Amino acid sequence: MIAVRVYPAPPECEIDVEALATLTEEEADAGEDDGLQGNQQYRDLRGISWDQVADGLKAEAALFQRFAASDDLDAEAERYDEEREEAFLPEEDLWGLDVGVIGATLALSAMGATPVSSCNAGGFGGVHTAQFPHVAFFLPRKIAGEVMAVAEAAGAGLAMTIGGLVCLSGKTDLALHRFGEVALAQHRKAE
């Protein structure tokens, strides 16, 4: 059985909407082939639907159960990685995202942001270098208020990085999943 880890509080700061980095369509399109912001495994998730967010959240919740039932996190992570290698469609391996950042990454994409990198900080086994779960992304000015409101409601942190990207962070292994749940609930309420 795994316990939900609690991470040191990640840094938070006000988001300066005027200083947000912008991403052109050409840069985003080229990212699939050339990498984006140093991430050579970048996957373009623009255009993710809210139905895909709901499916991703459900799949991620099932993975939480699977990992919680495991006696050996690292062995379970290795088995899961082997299964993902068999995937044919991006949805089948949950777009290659770490367990724990799937819901937030998909929700940010559906909201209109462009995630460029993420890490679960090793809460579900394997070797990870981040100190806390996070998703780094380009945040368009027009949705900044909405993203900030969802982060606050979900108890997730937001900080700007050098260069104007935004980093959504969690204090626990489940915090970013909660961001996805809140975003989906608010989207459904607005429909």
The alpha helices in the chain, defined as continuous H runs, are 25-34, 50-68, 73-85, 102-111, 144-154, 175-190
Domain membership of residue 156 as a residue range: 17-190
- Residue 126: exposure state from Cβ atoms within 10 A (0-12, 13-18, ≥19): middle
**pLDDT by 10-residue block (mean), the chain, 191 residues:** 72 85 88 75 88 97 93 90 90 91 97 94 81 93 96 93 92 94 97 84
- Is the residue at 156 inside a domain? yes
Domains: count for the chain? 1
Which residues lie below 8 Å from residue 109, measured CB to CB, with a gap of 6+? 45, 46, 47, 48, 115
- Is the residue at 1 inside a domain? no
- Is the residue at 11 inside a domain? no
- Is the residue at 7 inside a domain? no
Q: pLDDT at position 36, please? A: 80
- Is the residue at 5 inside a domain? no
- Is the residue at 133 inside a domain? yes
- Is the residue at 2 inside a domain? no
**Do residues 93 and 102 lie in contact, with contact meaning Cβ atoms separated by under 8 Å?**
no
- Is the residue at 74 inside a domain? yes
pLDDT in tens, 107-123: 999 999 999 999 998 88
